[in-house]
Each structure stands twice: as structure tokens, then as C-alpha cells.
Amino acid sequence: MSFDLALINGRIWTENPSQPEAEAIGVIGNRIAFVGTSNDVLAGCTAETRLVGLRGRRVVPGFNDAHVHFYLGGASLSSVQLRDAESVGELRERVAAFASKRPKGEWILLGSWDPERWPVGSSLDRSLIDDVTPEHPVLLNRADAHTSLANSLAIRLAGVNGASAEIPGGEIGRRPDGSLNGIFKDAAQALITRVVPAPTKNQMVRALDAAQLHAARYGVTSIQDMGLLGTQARECSADLFRAYQELDQNGNLNVRVSLHTPLVAWKRLADLGVKAWFGNERLRIGGIKAFADGSLASTTAWFFDPYTDADWTSGIPSDDMSNPEQMLNDLTACDEAGLQLAVHAIGDRANHEVLSFFEEIERRHERRDRRWRIEHAQHVRACDMRRFAQLGVVASVQPYHLSDDGRWADARIGRERAKETYAFRSLIDAGATLALGSDWWVAPIDPLLTIWAATTRKTLDGAHPDGWVREEKISVEEAVHAYTVGAAYASGEEHIKGSLETGKLADIAVLSGDIFDMEPDEISGVQVDMTVFDGRVLFERD
């Protein structure tokens, strides 16, 4: 054997049960050719081998982020940054500064503002940003992506006003006098997004390229792209796939992508005969993404009982779910066509209904290995936990959200219900397969932050030093397993990735510290020193 790449003198966490730890890896082409001792690997090195001395550093399989919005992530890197704005005043200043550098008429989008950081009683109204953006239409998302703030110019361009009718699955924000305050929730965001110019394919290619560079810095070698949202999802999904293909065909795709298509477009895939998963080892299609409800932050997550701090609502079923019979028929048809179903469900009611859909589909058809997934699986009643295992539904979860939501979720849904929130320990104990992800751009892509959140359950405000609902903590081993093997299972690729063993793809992350040998709280400070993708060193921290 002569290796193209060799990593020696490391502490390698293989995720291979028959050889859990090793010192060294030898790579030939894009495959792992050998895992074992440094001496054995050195014996296969020649003058042409790229030899990397790891100096005892911890190595894990490349992270597989089971839930991202990659285009939006890439686009957000070059847009206005509002996530850490500490007040509405700071939001206004940042928007003003950003607008002053952009050509007149250009839309200002994304932003990810976080009202939980602002002083209590802060309220948001379009008048806050109108005078600093007279010539830029603006549509800024809340960090959870289920609410947006539009300025008056955007609202005018969209032809929306105080007389506009509510739309199913959404909510239009109004002032006491009935005029619009610029806030649009869930499906109502489409009132504005439908006039936002669609990104061109070249803009998409640029954003995806920025996104994959960003991912490489964090050791992320595979992503499962839940695609575009709202109006863009309906109109631009083909362009997104074209942009990925362009990168791939030019040899420039440096992350493995499983792309989910919005439910509205399922028939196009089915008519062509595309099944899960069609493509190559870098780019695949055949997954569908549907929605059952909104988000907890925007009080649109769909619960059995009303919100504690907003008792007039139990949340809103999504626009897909507003006609449950149609949704069930569409999901059944997708399943018949051999497409993989991933359904967003946050509230306990939404999770319950989706599990019942899956049950009904299985009743109509035969039982087979489908890899159904529920995205977020955020609030699950104890009686529904075991249905994940019974039906073989993957819980695709993003633990960083708990550190975010844990700041205010007790007040929103009450202490008792909060115990069934982000219940990763209970899901694992009930036999469910967990796949970890970030939900970037809604949350940071950094897998170490995700693992920190899953294992410490600390909240971003430091209010829960022992962890919020600490019974639901999982171990570092479980978190890494769910980020590699679990995520590979979710996209049906456990035969080629997820573990470091002979014959599998050489996708590897070298960490600055040993996450298995430190306090979980320290994990958030660990960095990725090197990322190997497809047998090549793709990123190296200097």
C-alpha cells in the first residue's frame, strides 16, 4: 500500500465499534485505506505521501450537518449582521450603516435579529428603520426565521396595506389602529418575499461557495440542505440545484450535499422517476421537505394547549398543514414515488399529527426502510416518543436552539411542558435514532457549539449553569455519534460515511482539543484545526 495522505500520532475516534480508537489513518485517493498504529501507517508512506503529524490531537469523522439552509447561510455571511445587536437602537444603526454602503434600490435581506437580547418591553415597528432606508427595500428575518420585519418601501412595493386579508398559516402584524407595523409571521412573509427579486444562478453559486468555505472551517464535510424557504422555495429550487450542479461539474463542490426539495415541487421529481437518493457521492436529490407548523419564538409552533404567555393561541399549522387531507395525500404520493420525507414539526401537536401521517402511510403501503424524518422534533409528548422508534422515524434535531430558547421557553409554554422540550435523552432512551445538525443560518454552523449545547444544556444568558431541563442531557459520545453515524443514517449513506474505517470516504476533522477528555462546558472553545475532504486537506488553521 502506498498512501496519498497519512495522519499519524493522533487520537482517532473512529465510530467503528470493532476498532473504536486508533493512532493513524492512511488514505488512498478519496478513500480510507487503513486505520491502525502510526508504525503501520508509516510503513505505507512514500516520498509522495502527504504526511500529517497530529501530535496527539483528537480526530473525529467529518461532521455531517443533518439540517442546514446552505444558500441562505452563504448569503447571510455578506448581509447585515443583527444577531448580536443588543437593542432596537443598535439594530437601526447597523441597518443604517449597511444601507449607506449598498446601491440604492438594492434589497437588504436576512439579518437574524434576536429580540431576546433586547431590554424588556422593546418593540419593533417599521418606523424604526424607515428613515435610514428610504431608498432600500428591507426585509429582515428574526433569528428563528419565522418572523420578518419589512420597511415601508418594501411593503409599498409588495402592494400590501392595512386592508390586506390574513392568509392561512401566517399572521400580519398590526398597530392598535389596524395599520401595518411591518411584522410578518410565517406564511404571511410571502406577501413581501414574492416581490423580492429571485437570486440569479450566479448569485447562488457565489453564496454556496462562501457557505462551503465557512463549513470547512468547522469540520463540516457533509450537509443535508433543507433548501430555500417561502416564495423562494416555490420559485428557485431548480436554480439551487443547478447552482450545486455547476459547482460539482466544475470540480468545485467541496462538501457533500443531500438536497431536499420543497413539498410543492414533489411531482416534478416523481414525474422524472427520481427516487431517494439519486446522484453521486457529492450531490444527491430525492428528499422532500414539508412543514407542519412554525416556531416557538414566533408563537406559531402548533401545540395541543394554548401558550402560557399568549393564551389566545395554540400556534398555527403551516400552510401545508392547513389542509391536512391534502398534505397526507401528497406525503403518501411522495412515499409511493420513492422520495424520502422530512417534515418540520416543532409543537407537540405538530409532532403528533406528523407521526400519525406516517402511521397512516405505513397502513396504506407496506412496511419498508424509508428513513422518515421529523425535522426539529422539538416538543414531543411522552406518549409520542416511542412512536419515533416504532415507525423508524429519525429525530433530526439542532441542540443549539435549546440554548437559545431556554432563555424564555419556560415563560412561553410553562415549566411542565418545557420538560418535554428538546428531550434528546428521552428520545434516545425510547429507541429513536438522532441525527444532529445546526439549522444554519438560523443558528451557527459550528458543530462544537451544537455538541456543547446538547451535553451541557446551558442557555446563552447563563441562567441555567447546571443545564436547562438537565435530565435531558446526552453524552459527548452520543452527540458525536448522532453528528456522524446518525446523520449518515438519516440520508441513507451509512455504508460510505459516518465512521473512519477502511473503504469509507476520507472525510475527517482534526480538533484542537480532546472533547472526550474535558468538561463539556469547555467544548465550545474547541476549534477545528484541519478538515480533510474527499482525501484532500481542504482547510488548515494557521
User: Least distance from C-beta 67 to Zn ion, angstroms?
Assistant: 6
Q: Which of 257, 226, 214, 146 is nearest to 447 (CA)?
A: 214
Q: How far is the CB of 466 from Zn ion (least distance, A)?
A: 29
- Close Cβ partners of 388 (under 8 Å, ≥ 6 residues apart): 355, 374, 377, 380, 394, 395, 427, 430, 431, 432, 433
Question: Does 335 contact Zn ion by CB under 5 A?
Answer: no
| Nearest residue (CB) to Zn ion, 180 versus 226 | 226
Q: Reduced to 3 states, what is the DSSP secondary structure of residue 147? A: strand
Of the pair 439, 534, the CB lying nearest Zn ion is at: 439
| φ, ψ dihedrals at 277, nearest 5° | -115, 125
Name the minimum Å distance from CB 452 to Zn ion.
20
Which of 348, 439 has the CB closer to Zn ion?
439
Cα separation, 173 vs 180, in Å, equals 6
Closest to 370 in 3D by CA, of 344, 327, 336: 336
Task: Determine the Cα–Cα distance for residues 125 and 140; give it in Å rounded to an integer.
Answer: 12
Give the C-alpha separation, 76 to 72, whole Å: 6
Q: Would you tell me the crossing angle of helices 201-217 and 70-77 to the nearest 10 degrees? A: 90
Nearer to Zn ion, 54 or 208 (CB): 208
Unique residue bearing C-alpha cell 476533522: 509
- In whole angstroms, the minimum distance from the beta carbon of 442 to Zn ion comes to 6
Alpha-carbon distance 537 to 432, whole Å? 34
Calpha distance 259→241 (Å, rounded): 8
Using the contact rule CB under 5 A, the part of the chain among 123-131, 185-193, 264-272, 439-447 near Zn ion is 439-447
**Residues 401-420 interacting with Zn ion (rule: CB under 5 A):** none
Closest approach, Cβ 78 to Zn ion, in A, equals 20
C-beta of 398: minimal distance to Zn ion in Å?
8
Q: With CB under 5 A as the contact rule, which of the stretches 119-127, 223-231, 451-459, 476-484 interacts with Zn ion?
A: 223-231
| Shortest distance in whole angstroms from residue 457 CB to Zn ion | 21
> Quick one: 343 or 526, whose CB is closer to Zn ion?
343
Residue whose CB is less far from Zn ion, 186 or 439: 439
Interface region with Zn ion, contact rule CB under 5 A, candidates 128-136, 178-186, 222-230, 315-323: 222-230
The stretch near Zn ion (CB under 5 A) out of 306-314, 406-414, 432-440, 511-519 is 432-440
How do strand 58-61 and strand 508-511 relate by DSSP bridges?
A: antiparallel
**Of 266 and 291, CB closest to Zn ion:** 291
Name which of residues 251 to 280 contact Zn ion (CB under 5 A): none
- Least separation, in Å, of the C-beta of 541 and Zn ion? 28
Among residues 352 and 401, whose Cβ is nearest to Zn ion? 401
Per CB under 5 A, which region of 44-52, 268-276, 433-441, 457-465 contacts Zn ion?
433-441
* Binding range to Zn ion, per CB under 5 A, among 11-19, 104-112, 149-157, 219-227: 219-227
- Residue with smaller CB distance to Zn ion, 108 or 226: 226
Helix (H) or strand (E) holding 386: helix 382-391
Shortest distance, position 424 Cβ to Zn ion, whole Å: 17
Helices (H) and strands (E) in the chain, counts: 18, 24
DSSP state of 284: E
Q: Which stretch binds Zn ion (CB under 5 A): 28-36, 192-200, 386-394, 436-444?
A: 436-444
Task: Decide: helix, strand or coil at residue 447.
Answer: helix
How many other CB atoms sit within 10 Å of the CB of residue 418?
Answer: 20
439 binds Zn ion, rule: CB under 5 A: yes
Query: Taking the complex as a whole, how short is the minimal distance between the CB of residue 69 and Zn ion, in angstroms?
Result: 6
Write down the least CB distance from residue 40 to Zn ion, Å. 43
Burial 206-236 (b: 16+ CB within 10 A, else e): bbbbbbbebbbebbbbbbbbbbbbbbbbeeb
Q: Which is nearer to Zn ion, 226 or 263 (CB)?
A: 226
Beta strands in 19-166 (DSSP E): 21-22, 24-28, 31-36, 50-53, 58-61, 63-68, 108-113, 138-142, 147-150
CB of 100 to Zn ion, least distance (A): 32
Give least dist CB 76 to Zn ion, A: 13
Residue by residue, what is the 3-state secondary structure of 309-374?
CCCCCCCCECCCCCCHHHHHHHHHHHHHCCCEEEEEECCHHHHHHHHHHHHHHHHHCCCCCCCCEE
CA separation for the pair 172, 162 (Å, rounded): 9
Q: Considering beta carbons, is residue 35 or 342 the nearer one to Zn ion?
A: 342
Tell me if 493 contacts Zn ion by CB under 5 A.
no
Q: Which is nearer to Zn ion, 404 or 439 (CB)?
A: 439
Site for Zn ion in 226-245 (CB under 5 A): 226
CB of 259 to Zn ion, least distance (A): 14
Radius of gyration of the chain (CA): 23
Q: Report the Cα–Cα distance between both ends of the chain, in Å, rounded.
A: 31
> Minimal CB distance to Zn ion: which residue?
439
Task: Indicate the residue among 226 and 485 with the shorter CB distance to Zn ion.
Answer: 226
Smallest Cα–Cα separation from 262: which of 245, 243, 287, 295? 287
Number of residues that bind Zn ion (CB under 5 A): 2
> φ, ψ for residue 432 (rounded to 5)?
-75, 150
Q: Which has the closest alpha carbon to 461: 404, 520, 413, 521?
A: 404
Q: Which is nearer to Zn ion, 49 or 76 (CB)?
A: 76
CB under 5 A: which stretch of 92-100, 165-173, 225-233, 310-318 binds Zn ion?
Answer: 225-233
Site residues for Zn ion per CB under 5 A:
226, 439
